[in-house]
């Protein structure tokens, strides 16, 4: 297996509800490594870059408004098949469809306040990492 890098973000509701430690603990217990991490309040420009694929959709403005409403924790995570492993760990976007034991299944309150974001492909990971982290972290993404 080849180590892969991906992007993970604990959303404003996860930060406000003090779930940072619990989420990081789950990632580390799974054998994933945190390559870099930062807490920030996302600008509208960053949010628009992150969610550009949803521009024009009915939920776009609500999404941008929500993600810029408070602090987030952004991480570059590395591990074997990191993208697919993380997608399984976080669960379905809608918490009512997320399995118990997944991060969203255990902590998400609604479809919009679902605690965590993780890249859904290696290509998307590279793009998302580039929004929040410097060039040297994009190698091997």
Q: Which of 78, 117, 132, 133 is catalytic?
A: 117
Look at residues 5, 9, 28, 30 and name the one whose alpha carbon lies nearest to residue 132.
Answer: 9
Q: Annotated binding residue at 11?
A: yes
Cβ 127 vs Cβ 52: under 8 Å: no
Q: Annotated binding residue at 104?
A: yes
Q: Is 54 in the active site?
A: no
Q: Annotated binding residue at 107?
A: no
Classify each residue of 104-131 as buried b or exposed e, where b means 16 or more C-beta atoms within 10 Å of its C-beta.
Answer: bbbbbeeebbbbbbbbeebebbbbbbee
Q: Annotated binding residue at 114?
A: yes
Residue 88: CB partners within 8 Å, gap ≥ 6? 102
Scanning the structure block, which residue is given the tokens 């952004």? 74
How far is 41 from 137, CA to CA, in rounded Å? 20
Scanning the structure block, which residue is given the tokens 């929500």? 66
Q: Annotated binding residue at 93?
A: yes
Q: Annotated binding residue at 132?
A: no
Residues annotated in the binding site, as ranges? 11, 59, 87, 93, 104, 114
Residues taking part in catalysis: 117
Binding residues for ATP: 11, 59, 87, 93, 104, 114
């Amino acid at each position: 297996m080849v180590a892969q890098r991906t992007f993970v973000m604990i959303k404003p509701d996860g930060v406000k509800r003090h779930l940072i430690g619990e989420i990081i603990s789950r990632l580390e217990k799974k054998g994933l490594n945190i390559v870099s991490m930062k807490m920030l309040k996302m600008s509208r420009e960053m949010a628009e870059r992150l969610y550009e694929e949803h521009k024009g959709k009915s939920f776009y403005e609500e999404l941008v408004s929500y993600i810029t409403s408070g602090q987030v924790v952004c991480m570059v995570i590395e591990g074997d098949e990191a993208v697919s492993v993380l997608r399984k760990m976080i669960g379905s976007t809608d918490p009512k469809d997320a399995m118990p034991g997944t991060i969203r299944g255990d902590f998400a309150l609604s479809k919009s306040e679902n605690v965590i974001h993780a890249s859904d492909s290696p290509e998307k990971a590279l793009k998302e990492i580039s929004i929040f982290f410097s060039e040297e972290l994009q190698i091997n993404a």
